[in-house]
């Protein structure tokens, strides 16, 4: 049993403190000078310094690497970008890497301590360095202008499902004679599939298996002077049929066409217009603005965070399935990224919206206890992500008496989403229009520019792209009325009490309760499919109190009628999908999608060559339900990657699972369309 945990590297340290792989009996970098080796072998032979400054001819530079190791190549690449930025304009840098046996964070820190000149960057890497769990991890630096997308796991498996096109390849895995199983023909095929037009590569090795493998997938290969005592190394350029779109990398034809955006240079008011100023809209606007795009946010209310994102406190929480499937992989990616996101964002703000107080998923019932036992039996997660605790430990950690143990998430906590939305919109580069309701948006057939009209039939703005983040109201637009979404009413309760209740962590059972904030406790929430209003109901306060105290007995006095001094609440409509997975990505054209794939009605395994049909420049980011605090930050990164044609922070399997097209295809197969 390993999933999703990945075994970490077993190291030997030489006499001067450089790491050596015990399993492969190979060094991670040159013992002569690791930085100089990286600069010669990888940066110089891929012309990284020059390409970083090609602002007139390229939107960004994507470097891909086989073998992340100590991260030295990434740090040197980032340093080059940093130095060039200080003297002029540079393009965004995206670094995509894979590592099968990642270093422990403590070992990484020890290895990078050998390079004091990189300490200002290595400290930032260490702060975001991911846990050793399988899958895709997005790390964000320089306000999004430098990203590291690190895949943990087998190189073939991980890159086979990755979505990116590389401008340069650093082939820096262990030497072929030390690790022959890695340098397979399949891996070289994947490299070819992920290579952009005029991509380059370099490697310290002169092994024939690398030369033949790269030649077979379309690279010319030459020997050039090596570093130090190595007389020669290999480098080359991609000369095969050029790859121009990551859409080719999606397995199922109906999802092809759903990635990226055709560059549109026609004159208009904005690069991106976002409809909705809740958490989805706020995070998306911030990420896009950081990339230098001109962004407008339109909101029908008079301020941000008035809808489902308006609660005073919410739990940063994801419940994982016992099966490590695509949905679990996605939930894990969301949780890890959001924990890092809130930490980074809080450091930049004086407004307290995030508290990493920890969270306990309480085994509050016999059924829940059995689920957690099954989960732990079938999965292995790092202890600093989650760890099982008994009732005594839960009581000690939480600060209040608990009759049950559970799963402890030390890096989770609570978020104040309304405060967070306000913090994000303080970014002066974001244009906002409140008290404005959109009636429709239409696209010019020739220029593909969108025109956005309000309910008074007045044109508000023109835009190259639109991202609809308006939850259930997305269905009011004709292009999106087919989306399968449902509103779910939820009411939270906020209480002041005479009773002292020293709760230290968020507790999640049947409902949740957060530690005291502003001398009040926030808990709930109801789950109501029948009512669609947002009025505060006294009966829902009673439901919340009864639901919580049924398993959290220590809160009975706190929430008794004789002790409560004030009780208030807030009701809103969560927007959910039928499968409770968010709907994120480019919007499909319903009639054309049905027409192209109508054969699925009679043959669910029918073969197709044609791609799906999608509106260029129209995206949705909705249906986050009760887990939006976890899913919105990474969703924003994904939307930005599509609009800017950058490497995706999500695997192809996850992209298919969240695609707005998935319901059309399911309904065709089930003959509902």
pLDDT tens-digit series, residues 442-497: 999 999 999 999 999 999 999 999 999 999 999 999 999 999 999 999 999 999 99
Q: Between residues 134 and 243, which one has the greater pLDDT?
A: 134
SS3 at position 458: coil
The answer to whether 163 touches 258, Cβ cutoff 8 Å, is: no
What is the spatial order of strands in the sheet that 354-355 belongs to?
314-315, 414-415, 354-355
Instruction: Tell me the per-residue pLDDT of 207-221, one tens digit each, with 9 for 90 and over.
Output: 999 999 999 999 999
Instruction: Tell me the per-residue pLDDT of 18-73, one tens digit each, with 9 for 90 and over.
Output: 999 998 998 898 888 999 999 999 999 999 999 999 999 999 999 999 999 999 99
Task: Tell me how crowded residue 142 is: count the other CB atoms within 10 A of its CB.
Answer: 17
Helix and strand tally (H, E) in the chain? 18, 30
Q: What percent of the chain has pLDDT above 70?
A: 99
pLDDT number for residue 564: 97
Q: List alpha helices for 226-301, DSSP H.
A: 279-290
CA nearest 160: which of 553, 653, 663?
Answer: 653
The answer to whether 165 touches 94, Cβ cutoff 8 Å, is: no
pLDDT number for residue 647: 97
CA nearest 436: which of 455, 421, 451, 417?
Answer: 455
SS3 of the chain: helix, strand, coil, percent, to 5: 35, 25, 40
Q: Six-digit token pair at 59?
A: 């939107």
426 phi, psi to nearest 5 deg: -75, -10
Q: Residue 1: pLDDT above 70?
A: no
pLDDT number for residue 41: 97
Q: Six-digit token pair at 158?
A: 């991980």
Q: Tokens 């499937």 map to which residue?
A: 325
SS3 at position 270: strand
Q: Residue 609: pLDDT above 70?
A: yes
The CA-based dihedral angle spanning residues 480, 481, 484, 489, taken in that order and rounded to the nearest 10 degrees:
110
Q: Give the separation between CA 428 and CA 441, rounded to whole angstroms.
A: 26
SS3 at position 18: coil
What is the DSSP annotation of 22-48?
TTTTEESS-SS-HHHHHIIIIIITTTH
Q: How many CA atoms lie within 13 A of 29 on its CB side?
A: 25
Q: Label residue 593 by pLDDT band (50, 70, 90).
A: very high
Instruction: Tell me the per-residue pLDDT of 392-440, one tens digit each, with 9 for 90 and over.
Output: 999 999 999 999 999 999 999 999 999 999 999 998 899 999 999 999 9
Q: What percent of the chain has pLDDT above 90?
A: 90
Q: Give the separation between CA 243 and CA 199, rounded to whole angstroms.
A: 10
Q: Label residue 533 by pLDDT band (50, 70, 90).
A: confident
The sign of the torsion formed by the CA atoms of 84, 127, 168, 38 equals positive
Q: Six-digit token pair at 15?
A: 């006499």
Question: At a CB cut-off of 8 Å and minimum separation 6, what does 304 contact?
Answer: 277, 278, 281, 282, 418, 421, 422, 424, 425, 432
Q: Six-digit token pair at 534?
A: 């947002």
Report the Cα 473 to chain-centroid distance in Å: 24
DSSP 380: B
The answer to whether 175 touches 214, Cβ cutoff 8 Å, is: no
Look at the chain and count its residues. 673
The 3-state secondary structure of 549-618 reads HCCCHHHCCCCCCCCEEEEEEEEEEEEECCCCCCEEEEEECHHHHHHHCHHHHCCCCCCCCCCCCEEEEE
Instruction: Kindly state the average pLDDT of the residues 195-215.
Output: 96
Q: Identify the bridge partners of residue 174 per DSSP, sorted by sequence position.
A: none
Entry pTM:
0.97
Q: Identify the bridge partners of residue 567 per DSSP, sorted by sequence position.
A: 495
The answer to whether 429 touches 295, Cβ cutoff 8 Å, is: yes
SS3 at position 242: coil
Q: How far apart are the first and last CA of the chain?
A: 42
pLDDT number for residue 2: 64
CA nearest 231: which of 202, 210, 204, 207?
Answer: 204
The answer to whether 475 touches 583, Cβ cutoff 8 Å, is: no
Q: Six-digit token pair at 297?
A: 């946010």
Report the Cα 405 to chain-centroid distance in Å: 30
Instruction: Kindly state the average pLDDT of the residues 347-372.
Output: 97
pLDDT number for residue 240: 82
SS3 at position 80: helix
SS3 at position 517: strand
Q: Where are the beta strands (DSSP E) in 173-258?
A: 195-203, 219-225, 232-238
Q: Identify the bridge partners of residue 487 per DSSP, sorted by sequence position.
A: 575
Instruction: Tell me the per-residue pLDDT of 75-109, one tens digit each, with 9 for 90 and over.
Output: 999 999 999 999 999 999 999 999 999 999 999 99
SS3 at position 634: helix
CA nearest 498: which of 426, 559, 429?
Answer: 559
């Amino acid at each position: 049993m390993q999933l999703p945990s990945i075994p970490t590297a077993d190291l030997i340290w030489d006499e001067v403190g450089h790491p050596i792989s015990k399993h492969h009996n190979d060094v991670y970098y040159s013992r002569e000078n690791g930085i100089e080796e990286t600069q010669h072998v990888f940066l110089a032979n891929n012309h990284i310094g020059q390409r970083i400054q090609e602002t007139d001819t390229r939107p960004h530079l994507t470097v891909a690497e086989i073998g992340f190791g100590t991260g030295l190549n990434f740090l040197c690449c980032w340093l080059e970008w940093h130095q060039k930025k200080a003297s002029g304009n540079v393009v965004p840098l995206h670094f995509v890497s894979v590592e099968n046996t990642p270093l422990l964070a403590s070992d990484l820190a020890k290895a990078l301590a050998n390079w004091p000149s990189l300490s200002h960057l290595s400290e930032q890497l260490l702060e975001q360095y991911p846990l050793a769990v399988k899958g895709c991890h997005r790390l964000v630096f320089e306000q999004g202008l430098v990203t590291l997308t690190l895949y943990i796991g087998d190189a073939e498996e991980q890159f086979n499902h990755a979505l990116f096109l590389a401008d340069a390849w650093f082939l820096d895995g262990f030497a072929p004679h030390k690790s022959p199983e890695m340098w397979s023909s399949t891996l070289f095929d994947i490299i070819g599939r992920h290579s952009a037009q005029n991509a380059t590569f370099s490697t310290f090795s002169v092994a024939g298996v690398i030369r033949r493998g790269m030649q077979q997938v379309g690279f010319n290969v030459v020997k050039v002077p090596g570093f130090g005592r190595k007389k020669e190394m290999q480098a080359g350029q991609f000369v095969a049929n050029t790859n121009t779109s990551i859409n080719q990398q999606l397995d199922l034809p109906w999802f092809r066409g759903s990635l990226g955006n055709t560059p549109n240079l026609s004159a208009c008011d904005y690069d991106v217009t976002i409809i909705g100023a809740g958490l989805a809209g706020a995070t998306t606007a911030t990420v896009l603005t950081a990339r230098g795009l001109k962004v407008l946010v339109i909101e029908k209310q008079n301020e941000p965070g008035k809808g489902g994102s308006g609660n005073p406190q919410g739990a940063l929480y994801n419940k994982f399935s016992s099966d490590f499937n695509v949905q679990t992989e996605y939930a894990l990616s969301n949780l890890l990224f959001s924990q890092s996101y809130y930490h980074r964002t809080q450091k930049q703000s004086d407004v307290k919206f995030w508290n990493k107080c920890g969270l306990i998923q309480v085994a509050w019932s016999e059924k829940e206890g059995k689920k957690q036992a099954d989960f732990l039996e079938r999965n292995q997660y790092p202890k600093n992500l989650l760890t099982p605790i008994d009732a005594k430990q839960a009581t000690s950690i939480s600060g209040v008496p608990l009759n049950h143990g559970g799963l402890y998430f030390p890096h989770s906590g609570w978020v104040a989403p309304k405060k967070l939305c306000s913090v994000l919109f303080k970014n002066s580069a974001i244009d906002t229009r409140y008290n404005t309701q959109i009636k429709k948006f239409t696209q010019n057939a020739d220029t593909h520019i969108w025109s956005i009209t309000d309910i008074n039939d007045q044109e508000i703005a023109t835009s190259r792209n639109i991202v609809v983040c308006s939850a259930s109201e997305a269905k009011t637009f004709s292009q999106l009325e087919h989306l399968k979404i449902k509103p779910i009413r939820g009411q939270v309760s906020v209480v002041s009490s005479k009773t002292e209740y020293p709760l230290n962590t968020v507790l999640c059972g049947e409902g949740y309760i957060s530690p005291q904030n502003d001398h009040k406790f926030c808990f709930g929430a109801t789950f109501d499919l029948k009512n669609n209003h947002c009025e505060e109901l006294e009966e829902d306060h009673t439901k919340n109190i009864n639901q919580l105290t049924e398993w959290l007995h220590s809160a009975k006095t706190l929430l008794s009628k004789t002790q409560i001094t004030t009780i208030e609440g807030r009701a809103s409509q969560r927007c959910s999908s039928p499968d409770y997975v968010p709907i994120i990505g480019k919007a499909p054209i319903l009639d054309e999608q049905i027409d192209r794939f109508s054969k699925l009605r009679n043959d669910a395994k029918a073969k197709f060559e044609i791609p799906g049909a999608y509106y260029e420049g129209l995206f949705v980011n909705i249906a986050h339900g009760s887990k939006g605090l976890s899913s919105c930050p990474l969703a924003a990164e994904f939307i930005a990657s599509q609009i800017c044609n950058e490497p995706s922070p999500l695997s192809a399997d996850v992209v298919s699972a969240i695609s707005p097209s998935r319901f059309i295809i399911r309904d065709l197969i089930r003959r509902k369309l």
